[in-house]
Structure 1
Amino acid sequence: MRTLHTAELLVPGAGCEPLPDGAVLVEGDRIAEAGPFAELAERHPHARARRWPGVLTPGLLVHGGDALLERTYYPDDPYEVTELGADPISGEAELEALKITEARWGHSARRGTQKLLARGVVAVTGRFTVPAVRTAVVRSGLTVLPPAASAPPPSLDPFAGRDAAEQAFYGVLEPGAPARFAVFAAQDVQALPARGATSCVATVIGGRLLHRRR
């Protein structure tokens, strides 16, 4: 099945020229073509088309994934929110008081990866040592990279600590590249840091739509 993902603006990668009404043609887990939607649609009339509002960009990279998923606990809504609140919990003393089992860490990590996917994240850095967390990350589809020597502090917001949105891009949307991208409800890339990663409307990894804003 071939799918054409198109948005009001396509930004293939950092430093690339934005393309109004651009699109990427996804075949399997790869990008087969990228270019103007009208041209791709004419060449591939039987491809399914998904039209998104806003800006289509490479997926985003978050640093410190181990801190976000192994040293931050995400309360289960609605079961734990009444007692613990809805905000993520971190800090050695706070986590020790919760007496979290490995199984609970795994459940928390699944909730955490969903928050990352909902922010257009497709890759994280870090070393995961808790087996249940590692399993949750692998199953989420997120790419895991080694820790970076110099990186912004860990944050669910990929744009935090960045001078420009392009600094958070992971990869380039070009033929042969992995089909790994996100769409944000924004007019252009410059607006993304102010709009925030929660403006993400769709996240695709390996050609699969893993997040779609309802």
Structure 2
Amino acid sequence: MLTIHTADLLVTGPAGSGSAPLPGGAVLVEGDRIADVGPYEELAAASPHARTRRWPGTLTPGLLVRGGDELLERTYYPDDPYETTELGTGPISGPEALAALKMTEPRWGNSARRGTQKLLARGVVAVTGRFTSPAVRTAVIRSGLAVLPPAAYEGPARLDPFAGRDAAEQAFHGTLEPGAPARFAAFAVDGPAELLERGPTTCVATVIGGRLLHRRR
């Protein structure tokens, strides 16, 4: 099925990648790939039977988070609402705190699933890291997130892909062009500058492999 995703502004890649931001731009998706990119009116006229999804704000490539193994294998996300009264709502990390939780492989897998949902809700489509826990690795694969080799980075891993970045585009994973994987996100902001200022929790939709994996309710 053909689907057109459109927003007030389309940003296909980092500055200097060859295409300027396009007001009213759109991405035509066929299966798990991008079939075409351009003004919404042109794509809709060329594919009149395509389903249209309209998003507020800015449509961009999905985001990359560094240190995914630290975020998902060495950080515990309490199960809301069952554990938050005792453990709080924030992520738990550090050897002593994790030892007190007496973590098991299934519990790590459940935590990782909650962690991947938090990443998807921030427009993340890829993480770097090397996963050694089978349960965590399975959770990451099932989430649809791409896994890239570990990369050097400064500071602790964070759920915020923009942490330590000077521009939102530095966190983009890939570009939006015909033939590329259908992997992108929409944010309720007016452009990359506001996205960096307000952060990834402005995400309203995340698409991976052509599938809508997160939609803000």
TM-score normalised to the size of structure 2? 0.97
Task: Please state whether the residue corresponding to 1:211 is helix, strand or coil.
Answer: strand
Q: Once the two structures are superposed, what CA deviation does each residue of 1:32-53 show, in whole Å capped at 9, x if it has no partner?
A: 0000001111111100000000
Query: 2:84 maps to what in 1?
Result: 81
Counterparts of 2:127 and 2:197, CA distance in 1 = 22
AA aligned opposite 1:76: D
RMSD of aligned alpha carbons: 0.8
3-state SS of paired residue (2:141): helix
Please point out which of 80, 90, 94 is paired with 1:91: 94
CA distance in 2: counterparts of 1:195 and 1:53, whole angstroms: 15
Aligned residue among 70, 73, 77 for 1:70? 73
Q: CA deviation at 1:149?
A: 2.8
Partner of 2:53: 50
In structure 2, C-alpha distance between the alignment counterparts of 1:36 and 1:152, rounded to whole Å: 40
| SS class of match (1:104) | helix
- CA distance, structure 1, for counterparts of residue 176 and residue 109 of structure 2: 32
- SS of 1:109's partner is helix
- Alignment partner of 1:113: what SS? helix
Q: Which residue of 2 aligns with 1:110?
A: 113
Kindly indicate whether the alpha-carbon contact (under 8 Å) linking 1:201 and 1:213 is maintained by their aligned counterparts in 2: yes
2:127 and 2:155 mapped to 1: Cα distance? 12
> Following TM superposition, by how much is the alpha carbon of 1:193 offset from its aligned partner in structure 2, in angstroms?
1.4
CA distance in 2 between partners of 1:101 and 1:80 (Å): 16
SS in 2 for 1:203: strand
TM-score, normalisation: structure 1: 0.99
What are the superposed Cα offsets for residues 183-211 of structure 1, whole Å, 9 maximum, x if unpaired?
Answer: 00001111111111000000000000000
Q: Between 29-38 and 13-22, report the one with greater CA deviation.
A: 13-22
Q: Residues 66 and 153 of structure 2 are in contact (CA less than 8 Å); yes or no, is this contact kept in structure 1? A: no
Alpha-carbon deviations, 1:68-110, whole Å to 9, x = none?
A: 0000000000110011000000011000010011000000000
Q: Secondary structure at the match of 1:103?
A: helix
- The SS at the match of 1:138 is helix
Shift of 1:151: 5.2
- Separation in 2 of the partners of 1:133 and 1:176? 30
- Gapped runs of 5+ residues in structure 1? none
Partner of 2:36: 33
Aligned length: 214
Task: Name the CA distance, whole Å, in 2 between partners of 1:20 and 1:174.
Answer: 16
Corresponding residue number in structure 2 for 1:164: 167
Q: Which amino acid aligns with 2:71?
A: L
Change (3 A) 1:10 1:152: farther
- State the SS of the aligned residue for 2:122: coil
Alpha-carbon shift at residue 152 of structure 1 (Å): 5.6
Secondary structure of 1:40 counterpart: helix
What amino acid sits opposite 2:137 in the alignment?
Answer: R
Q: Match for residue 194 of structure 1?
A: 197
Percent identity over the alignment is 76
The one-letter code sitting in structure 2 at the alignment partner of 1:165 is A
Whether the 8 Å CA contact 1:28–1:206 is kept in 2: the answer is: yes
Q: Which residue of 1 aligns with 2:6?
A: 6
- Aligned partners of 1:30 and 1:153: how far apart in 2? 33
